[in-house]
Structure 1
Amino acid sequence: MRTLSRRLGTLIALFHRIMWSRFVRWGAFVLGLTSLTLIFGFASRTMYGIDHGINLIAYWHIPLAFLTAGALSATFVGSVLYLKYEGRFWNRLAHSGGEIGFLFATLTLVTGSLWGRVVWNSWWEWSDVRLVTFLMVWFIYAGYLVVYASTERGADERFAAVYGTVAFITVPITYTAGRLWTPTFHEPTVANPDVSANIDPLTLGISLLALGLLYIYLMAIRIRLHELEDKVVLKKEEVA
């Protein structure tokens, strides 16, 4: 048991070192500038046979969609480890991933609607299986945040952890929907040689790395805020 606690402590310390490293902060800044330069300086405005500046939003829309899955995966992992070991860090990790994942999911839906209005002449299409399943994920994790907000520290947080564990089943469903069923608009862009979106892989990759490092930095800030909130609660309990 002591060995397990030591290993978990080492893992948590590693998480903190990665999240607060200079590489993450400066990497997000440098790659972000590089992404903007490539998008507005070199990337093609023509996609699906349409020449329009809104097509450049794809270089943020697609990474945001992938990072939504990454953030919600952190919620799943944190929820499972909290249920098993009940460490405060895992609870903070789960909730922080849920908050940022919900934010990224919202931005994915907004940027997708803006892009779709020009490319497909439609803000929304209920027949598109990827859109509908992604909206389900958005509602389900909105529910997770509500459940978490309604729990009391140290008392019934396990309800939120169970919710965060079960809710994750919707994430792989929406990300494989374009391959499991015939999509109306969303053809797979990864590992699809016939993709017609005309997206530059280098620009897309750098944008994904930039937003990925930004995500890690946002996670570090949110977890730190959780730690400060816990200290405030403990101080109030001591005073009381």
Structure 2
Amino acid sequence: MWSGVVRWGTLVAGIASIVLVFGYASSTMYGIEHGANRIAYWHISLAWMAAVALGTTFLGSVLFLRYDGRFWNRLAHSSGEIGFLFATLTLVTGSIWGKVIWNSWWEWSDVRLVTFLVVWLVYAGYLVVYSSTENSSDEKYAAVYGVLGFVTVPISYTATRLWTPTFHETTLGNEGVSANIDPLTLVVTIVAVTLLYASLMGVRIKLHEIEDKVLRAKPHNRR
């Protein structure tokens, strides 16, 4: 029942986000009018939910190391996969939006871009390490990686406060921010992406459970 509510909520919120983005929100941002500016709502929402997902990987890894429960390990890996997907989409949508605002697909001088790329590389590594595990003892290496790798996430998300940003502005608590972001549209879009994350998590954890059952049924299972 709960999974059905989440799926329907994802659909409704997703449609509402599309309607608001294309029917209500302004296409002018930073003084530039362009239809591609609307991608900013999904870019920001994906970035925030990537942080939530990778934070869940951190939490799941900590709990797995503490209690050694298979559920926590599945939770950490499932959220890591989705977080990596959201981080990838964040980079892609940010590149498209950046081409409009900055007239450049990528800027190595921007601290937020570079540190977020580091996050992306770190969690690509986490998925590789996890995929190479062969038993519960090896899985602890992936869990340790999931704990230590998380340090890159808060560094990236606070980069515009720690260093002088080239392009990205500090948004929270910055009354002088020049991005013309509609709050209602952004909130609805964040809700939509949050529900999408919850829906994907449910599916991925179920797939993990099926994988475990198949492996246990084999004479020489991996885990």
Q: TM-score range by the shorter chain?
A: over 0.9
Kindly state the Cα deviation for residue 183 of structure 1 after the two structures are TM-superposed: 0.7
SS of the residue 1:155 aligns to: helix
Give the deviation of 1:236 after TM superposition: 1.1
Match of 2:179 among 197, 221, 236: 197
Q: Which amino acid aligns with 2:146?
A: G
CA–CA separation in structure 1 for the residues paired with 2:152 and 2:113: 13
- Deviation for aligned residue 1:180: 1.4
Aligned partner of 2:143: which letter?
A
Deviation at 1:237, TM superposition (A): 3.0
Of all paired residues, the percent bearing the same amino acid is: 68
CA distance in 1, matches of 2:52, 2:135: 26
Q: CA deviation at 1:191?
A: 2.6
2:28 paired with 1:46: yes
Choose the corresponding residue for 2:4, options 22, 34, 46: 22
Matched, 1:151 2:139: no
- Structure 1 stretches of 4+ with a deviation exceeding 3 A read none
Deviation at 1:238, TM superposition (A): 8.3
**Equivalence for 2:155:** 173
Q: Does 1:187 align with 2:183?
A: no
1:81-133: CA deviations, max 9, x gaps?
Answer: 00011100000001011101110000000000011011101111111000000
> Over the residues paired in the alignment, what is the CA RMSD in angstroms?
1.3
Alignment correspondent of 2:114 = 132
Distance 1:238 1:124 in 2: 48
Deviation at 1:190, TM superposition (A): 2.5
Distance 1:238-1:120 versus aligned 2 partners, 3 A rule:
closer
Q: What's the counterpart of residue 215 of structure 1?
A: 197
Q: Distance in 2 between matches of 1:238 and 1:115?
A: 50
In structure 2, stretches of 5+ residues that fail to align are none
Cα offsets for 1:10-50 (capped at 9, x unmatched): xxxxxxx8xx4333111111111100000010110000111
Structure 1 residue runs without a partner (length 5+):
1-16
Shift of 1:153: 3.2
Q: Which residue of 2 aligns with 1:123?
A: 105
Higher mean displacement: 76-85 or 180-189? 180-189
The secondary structure found in structure 1 opposite 2:136 is coil
The two structures have a TM-score, normalised by structure 2, of: 0.96
